[in-house]
Structures are given as C-alpha cells and as structure tokens.
Amino acid sequence: MGNEQAANGKPPDPTDAFRDMRDTYLDAWAKAMVETVNSEAYARTSGTVLDTYLSASSPFREAVEKAMLRVLEQLSMPSRADFIALADRVNNIEMRLDDMDAKLDRIESYTKPAMESKPKPRSRQSNRQSKRKTRGAR
C-alpha cells in the first residue's frame, strides 16, 4: 500500500479508508431506503400525513381567502378570480389570432403559386415603349 502510493508520488491519505467505509455504509443505507419508500407502509404513512395537513389547513386557508377577498373588495382591487377571468379572455383572443394566422398562411400558400406564375408587371417606361411600338405598327 505504502509502496504503491510512493510509486504514485502521492502521500498516503488517512481519510481514504474513512471514505471507503462511508461509501459502503451509504450504499447499504440507500438500498434500504429505496425498499422503504417502495413499501405499502410508506405509501400509507405519506398519504396520511398529506391528508392530515390538507384537512387541518383547509379551514384556515379558506378563512384567509375569504378575508383577503373582502380586503381586496374594500380597496377596489381585483382578486385572483378576476385575474383568472381576464387571463381566460386573453387566451381566447390569442387562440383567435392564431386561427387568423393559420388562415393567412393558407391564403398565402394558395396565392403564392399564382403570383409566381403571373408575368411580372412591366415598368412604366417599358409600357410606354411598347405602346409607341404598337402605335408605330399601326
């Protein structure tokens, strides 16, 4: 061991043995915990804890919500429900805009080939020249 480390040029680290021991212990603990959390007992316990918390906090939460609503009304301030209703309306507008965007894309896709196949409009000068030529021909 000592020779190996001397060959590596590293001084012996007294914490290496501790680290190996720590890792072995943690691996064993990790496996045991995975089994624990995967058990029916854990599912039941965590469910009970959550249920208790939600049941206990529910009346308090409702009271705070009601009080807050009254305060906001007194201050003529919009409530969460008002904002949610507003957000719904904005969403609907966004949807309609997206529908319009889709329709415009469709119209563009129909008109593009027609526009490409149509001869390019001539400039005024070339129009005049062609008119002169026509007159001359007459």
Partner 1 sequence: MEDATVVTDPFTDLVGKLTAFNKALTTRTAIAQTPKELVWTLNKAKLYRYIPVVAKAQRHPVPLLMVFALMNRPYILDLRPGHSFVEFMLNRGYDLYLLDWGAPGPEDKNLKFDDYTLEYMPRAIRKLKSIAGVEEFSMLGWCIGAILATIYAALRPDDGLRNLILLTAPLDFSNKEALTFARWTDERYFNVDQVLAAFGNMPGEMIDYGAKALKPVENYIINYLKLWDNIENPQVIEAWQAMNTWVTDNIPLAGGVFRQLVVDLYRNDRLMRGEMMIRGERVDLSRLRANLLTVIAEGDHITPPCQSKAILSKVSSKDKELFSVPGGHIGIMAGSGANKRTWPKIDDWLGRRSR
**Which positions touch partner 1 (CB under 8 A)?**
19, 22, 26, 29-30, 33-34, 37-40, 42-44, 46-48, 50-51, 54-55, 57-58, 61, 80, 83-84, 87-88, 91, 94-95, 98, 101-102, 105
Report the nearest approach of partner 1 to the CB of residue 116 (Å).
Answer: 14
Q: Phi and psi for 7 in degrees, rounded to 5?
A: -65, -35
CB 41 within 8 A of CB 34: no
CB 69 within 8 A of CB 79: yes
Report the nearest approach of partner 1 to the CB of residue 76 (Å).
Answer: 21
101 is written with which tokens? 């965007």
Report the nearest approach of partner 1 to the CB of residue 56 (Å).
Answer: 11
Q: Scanning the structure block, which residue is given the tokens 């309609």?
A: 96
